[in-house]
């Protein structure tokens, strides 16, 4: 029996040491020598998605450019909003960074369910924009619609069905904004993922779909769907999307690219921010990062903090106008 | 044929088989531990594949995927806790066999059936992918809805002895599945302004509560100090199948393999639905339907064949159209992209050799799964010789760790506890919890596809009779309902005459 | 020490046997039905506040949950009526013996699970697991030292296995 007692005592002692370990602080002591610990970059979206791929590839260069390993992780739930909420537990200058974008800061606070959003854009400091991805609108190839003029003509006597990923996603809002400016009617059909939305247009279930370029690439190459327009100021012309006229050519302004901001917790010192920013800007220049970007059909971005703030404000306005 | 040879030469490299076996081993472990899912395993080990080539990384991921699909049956059979949602149907007959001291037999049947299902679907993928893909493209939103609606009729089969209670439990599960953001309108439902409920309740989370933790609560039933299943019985187990047994499982295995493939090509449905479907079909076809739920080998063979037959089939829409059929496959899509392969109709013409290497590799994945399974099950089977008093807290530790790992959230553990209490109370009052799970599996899919159909048709209901496939399913649903009602009337008459 | 534990055991045993005599014969269908009727009514009454509507089409976000709750309600009422009619006709209805001791034990296990959860909020996974494991063994009245060692080491092994081998994040 004595043995039992001593074992219990032992385990209690063990527990207490572990307890002590559990409540470790993560704030840094000196900013000059930042970082002194490994940095974690949280991607709040799906594994295997564009942001995740970029995050993991970029993390490889962490040791080289920041002097500490960078760990890429994912924390899912509520389209990224759970991770962004949990991130608020971090203090300024913490070793955790997170991705976020217009979905979390412009859309989520302005649509249904906003009551559950406990964070605002001001809770974070933007470090840099990892990439910009231009959305593309595609049509069932049978319709033979390849630009906005043809879309307008078609829309006169048709109510257009547009497949999008999620009814309150970026794609849904730019679709609504575009059709409003063109003055034609649309029905948004929400699918559970961009691939399924594209599949719907491939099957002829809907007439149009909105997605990233890389997502539509396969079906466009196969000639099942045709690109109608890209949501940008400048024309896109690569081996898949040949001379696709942008919405900008038609004087349309209510559009935005998909972005992926790297964010730190509010209050993080400017020196730390610029240290991370410079490191990441350099990472983006690496050959295999460039290769990945072209594979994913996304563009590197040199946006400043002001550009990022403007983007959030711009998208917020579009969301409010089209809700 | 040329591509076939090129593919084979790409595949037959030692590293491919090393990564395949590593993946298989991880998959079995993640599948068997309640709370650790195949998706989680793929997510955690994905970075690993970023440095590998396309074939190597695919062999690794497919190893995880297939073995994980099988691994769930191990814990379902041994400790009455399905390691994955699709092993819930396996549990219905697997655990009774363990209680009879025939756990090895059950495990062996699960392994045989899983291997058969896996190889069947791999062969379909290899030889009939284009045809199956064409069929898949004929199925649209209204067809998906009718498949789900047909799936709901299974509730009658898993209700236990009281259909009314089964319907109540099923509707309750369907209701719970609506919690979270409504995908069709963007509005929230029953989230009580809690961000953690925003995307609904993950299936694994409810699974841990409904089956694993409620079982822990049920340990209050008896004194379980140091009790174990008879060790001698374990060693002396006769795990040779008799001729009749071999014969009896042949038909359900073939039918289930076909069901698995059909369900597999429908995006979003997945293995759980396939295994319930086949379980229901196997019982309907069986000569001994009364043995189902009491340790029927046919039951085990049916669901395990089906949930592994899904594995090859989900790859068909992925490789031919770039449509991921479930979460795990969606991640594999990423693995393809990082290697510069864009899934889509042109994938086969542009990267033929790699595609053939992957498809032939899938057959070997299943063969090696069989070999690993043979060794590992012997090892796993020892679990039941651990005293219950010792095993229970360890299971709870696994469950808590697993529940936490899904979203790195303690809130999810709270949810599992709520489900555990619900399941405990329900079983006290004679409600089966399987219909709740079925409701959770089918709820979102059923509702979304129903409402999406009506959006597509501008609110006209004739969309549900717009294609031959729709009409076939409507017919099947009607027949099934008539049969259910008829058997209910019959049993009532029997009860009445007593 | 042994004496103390034995006296604790004796005390528990005595209360146990006292409680064990408290048996209730419960008409399970009736109680089950009433339970689900309550759930359905609470659910239905919460629908207007929990599901906001922004469209006026025939099929909305409310349609499906409302339908399900109504099915729960209607079938629970049917279940209840069936048994009530059986009682009136003096036929047998399904009864089940509910033992007070068993239920109290279940509550104790639940309390331990909740304690485990609460501990996770404040401390590491391994520490909480050890505390929970020891409590659980105590509950199962295990007096074997080896069991306690096994539990503590399994907690540590699971913790390390998850975090470092399987790379799963833990609290």
What range does the domain containing C52 cover? 2-122
Nearest-by-Cβ selection for C133 from B190, B218, B393: B393
Q: How many domains does chain B have?
A: 1
What distance in Å separates the CA atoms of residue B324 and residue B318, rounded to the nearest whole number?
5
Q: Which residues pair with A162 in a beta bridge?
A: A188, A208
* Residue at C155 is within a domain: no
Q: What is the b/e burial string over B87-96, where b = at least 16 CB atoms within 10 angstroms of the residue's CB?
A: bbbbbbbbbb
Give yes or no for residue A156 having a pLDDT over 70. yes
Which of A98, A116, A188, A224 to probe the B interface (max B CBs under 10 A)? A116
Give yes or no for residue B159 having a pLDDT over 90. no
Per-residue confidence band for A32, with pLDDT thresholds at 50, 70 and 90: low
* Residue at C35 is within a domain: yes
Which of A18, A19, A23, A47 to probe the C interface (max C CBs under 10 A)? A18
Give yes or no for residue A15 having a pLDDT over 50. no
- pLDDT at position B203 is 84
Touching chains, C (3+ CB pairs < 8 A):
A, B
B237 touches chain A (CB under 8 A): no
Q: How far is A196 from chain B (nearest CA, A)?
A: 6
A3 touches chain C (CB under 8 A): yes
Identify the residue with better confidence: A79 or B143.
B143
The pLDDT tens digits of the residues spanning B50-95 come to 778 888 988 999 999 999 989 999 999 998 888 888 888 999 999 9
The pLDDT tens digits of the residues spanning A200-224 come to 998 889 999 999 888 888 888 888 8
The pLDDT tens digits of the residues spanning C50-96 come to 888 876 677 888 999 999 999 999 999 999 999 999 999 988 888 88
Partner-chain contact C133 B394, CB within 8 Å = yes
What range does the domain containing B42 cover? 2-497
Give the DSSP H/E element, type plus range, for residue C166: none
DSSP string, A257-283: -EEEEEEEETT--HHHHHHHHHHHHHH
Q: Which residue of A has its CA nearest to C6?
A: A1
Partner-chain contact A78 B334, CB within 8 Å = no
Q: Could you tell me how many CB contacts below 8 A there are between chain A and chain C?
A: 45
Which chain B residues have a beta carbon less than 8 Å from that of A49?
334
- pLDDT at position C93 is 83
CATH superfamily of this structure's domain A135-250: Periplasmic binding protein-like II (3.40.190.10)
Partner-chain contact A219 B321, CB within 8 Å = yes
Q: What is the mean pLDDT of residues B373-384?
A: 85
- pLDDT at position B227 is 54
Give yes or no for residue C122 having a pLDDT over 80. yes
Partner-chain contact C78 B390, CB within 8 Å = no
Which chain C residues have a beta carbon less than 8 Å from that of A7?
145, 148-149, 152
Q: How many domains does chain C have?
A: 1
How many other C-beta atoms lie within 10 A of the C-beta of residue A2? 8
What distance in Å separates the CA atoms of residue A98 and residue C35, rounded to the nearest whole number?
45
The pLDDT tens digits of the residues spanning A253-296 come to 888 999 999 999 888 888 888 888 888 888 888 888 888 888 88
Partner-chain contact A75 B332, CB within 8 Å = no
Which chain C residues have a beta carbon less than 8 Å from that of A15?
123, 127, 130-131
| Among the four given CATH numbers 3.40.1410.10, 3.40.190.150, 3.40.50.12780, 3.40.50.2300, the one describing domain A34-133+258-321 | 3.40.190.150
Which chain B residues have a beta carbon less than 8 Å from that of A78?
181, 195-196, 198-199
């Amino acid at each position: 029996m004595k043995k039992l007692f001593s074992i219990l005592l032992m385990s209690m002692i063990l527990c207490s040491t572990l307890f002590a370990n559990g409540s470790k602080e993560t704030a840094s002591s000196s900013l000059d020598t930042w970082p002194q610990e490994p940095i974690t970059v949280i991607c709040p979206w799906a594994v295997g998605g564009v942001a995740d791929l970029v995050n993991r590839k970029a993390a490889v260069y962490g040791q080289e450019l920041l002097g500490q390993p960078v760990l890429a992780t994912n924390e899912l739930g509520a389209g990224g909003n759970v991770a962004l909420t949990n991130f608020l537990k971090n203090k300024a200058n913490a070793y955790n960074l997170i991705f976020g974008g217009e979905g979390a800061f412009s859309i989520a606070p302005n649509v249904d369910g906003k009551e559950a959003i406990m964070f605002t854009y001001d809770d974070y400091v933007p470090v840099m924009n990892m990439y910009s991805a231009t959305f593309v609108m595609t049509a069932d190839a049978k319709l033979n619609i390849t630009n906005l003029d043809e879309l307008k003509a078609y829309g006169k006597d048709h109510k257009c069905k547009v497949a999008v990923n999620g009814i309150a996603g970026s794609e849904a809002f730019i679709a609504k904004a575009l059709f409003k400016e063109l003055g034609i009617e649309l029905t948004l059909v929400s699918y559970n993922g961009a691939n399924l939305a594209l599949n719907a247009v491939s099957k002829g279930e809907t007439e149009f779909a909105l997605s990233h370029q890389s997502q539509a690439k396969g079906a466009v190459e196969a000639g099942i769907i045709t690109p109608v327009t890209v949501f940008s100021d400048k024309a896109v012309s690569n081996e898949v999307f040949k001379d696709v006229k942008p919405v900008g050519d038609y004087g349309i302004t209510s559009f935005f690219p998909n972005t992926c901001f790297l964010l730190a917790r509010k209050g993080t010192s400017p020196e730390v921010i610029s240290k991370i920013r410079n490191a990441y800007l350099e990472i983006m220049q690496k050959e295999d990062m460039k290769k990945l970007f072209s594979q994913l059909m996304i563009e590197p971005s040199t946006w400043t903090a002001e550009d990022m703030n403007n983007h959030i404000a711009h998208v917020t306005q579009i969301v409010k106008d089209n809700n | 044929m040329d591509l076939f040879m090129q593919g084979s030469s790409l595949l037959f490299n030692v590293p491919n088989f090393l990564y395949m076996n590593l993946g298989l081993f991880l998959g079995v472990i993640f599948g068997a531990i309640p709370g650790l899912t195949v998706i989680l395993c793929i997510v955690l080990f994905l970075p690993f594949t970023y440095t590998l080539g396309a074939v190597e990384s695919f062999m690794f991921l497919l190893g995880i995927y297939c073995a994980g699909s099988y691994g769930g049956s191990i814990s379902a059979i041994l400790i009455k806790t399905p390691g994955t949602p699709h092993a819930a149907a396996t549990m219905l007959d697997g655990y009774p066999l363990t209680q009879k001291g025939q756990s090895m037999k059950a495990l062996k049947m699960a392994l045989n059936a899983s291997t058969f299902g896996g190889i069947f679907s791999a062969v379909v993928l290899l030889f009939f992918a284009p045809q199956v893909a064409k069929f898949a493209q004929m199925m649209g939103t209204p067809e998906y809805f009718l498949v789900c609606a047909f799936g709901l009729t299974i509730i009658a089969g898993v209700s236990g002895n009281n259909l009314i209670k089964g319907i109540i439990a099923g509707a309750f599960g369907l209701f719970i599945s609506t919690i979270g953001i409504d995908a069709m309108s963007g509005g929230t439902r029953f989230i009580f302004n809690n961000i953690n409920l925003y995307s609904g309740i993950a299936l694994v989370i409810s699974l841990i509560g409904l089956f694993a933790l409620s079982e822990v609560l049920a340990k209050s039933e008896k004194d379980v100090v140091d009790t174990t299943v008879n060790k001698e019985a374990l060693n002396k187990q006769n795990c040779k199948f008799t001729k009749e047994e071999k014969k009896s499982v042949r038909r359900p295995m073939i039918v289930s393999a076909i069901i698995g493939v059909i369900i597999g090509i429908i995006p979003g449905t997945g293995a759980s639905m396939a295994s319930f479907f086949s379980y229901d079909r196997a019982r309907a076809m069986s000569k001994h339907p009364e043995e189902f739920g009491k340790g029927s080998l046919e039951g085990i063979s049916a669901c395990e064949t089906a949930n592994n037959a899904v594995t090859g089939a989900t790859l068909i829409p992925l490789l031919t159209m770039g449509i991921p059929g479930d979460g795990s496959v969606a991640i594999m899509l990423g693995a393809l992209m990082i290697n510069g392969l864009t899934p889509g109709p042109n994938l086969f013409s542009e990267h033929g050799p790699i595609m053939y290497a992957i498809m032939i590799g899938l057959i070997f994945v299943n063969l090696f799964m069989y070999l690993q399974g043979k060794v590992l099950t012997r090892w796993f089977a020892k679990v039941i010789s651990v005293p219950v008093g010792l095993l229970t807290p360890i299971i709870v530790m696994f469950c808590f760790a697993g529940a936490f790992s899904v979203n790195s959230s303690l809130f999810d553990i709270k949810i599992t506890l709520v489900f555990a209490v619900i399941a405990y109370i329900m079983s006290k009052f004679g409600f089966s919890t399987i219909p709740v799970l079925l409701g959770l599996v089918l709820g979102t899919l059923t509702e979304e596809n129903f409402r999406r159909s009506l959006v597509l048709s501008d609110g006209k209901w004739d969309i549900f009779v717009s294609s031959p496939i729709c009409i076939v399913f409507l017919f099947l649903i009607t027949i099934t309902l008539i049969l259910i009602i008829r058997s209910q009337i019959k049993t009532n008459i029997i009860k009445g005459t007593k | 020490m042994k004496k103390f534990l034995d006296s604790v055991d004796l005390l528990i045993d005595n209360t146990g046997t006292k409680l064990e005599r408290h048996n209730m014969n419960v008409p399970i269908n009736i109680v089950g039905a009433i339970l689900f009727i309550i759930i359905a009514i609470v659910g239905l009454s919460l629908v207007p506040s929990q599901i906001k509507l922004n469209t006026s089409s025939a099929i909305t976000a409310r349609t499906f949950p409302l339908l399900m709750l109504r099915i729960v309600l209607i079938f629970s009422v049917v279940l209840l009526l069936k048994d009530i009619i059986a009682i009136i006709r003096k036929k047998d209805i399904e009864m089940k013996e509910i033992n007070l001791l068993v239920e109290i034990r279940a509550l104790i296990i639940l309390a331990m699970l909740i304690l485990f959860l609460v501990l996770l909020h404040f401390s590491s996974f391994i520490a909480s697991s050890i505390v929970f494991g020891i409590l659980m063994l105590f509950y199962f009245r295990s007096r074997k030292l080896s069991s306690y060692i096994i539990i503590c080491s399994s907690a540590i092994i699971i913790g390390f296995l998850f975090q470092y081998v399987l790379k799963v994040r833990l609290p």
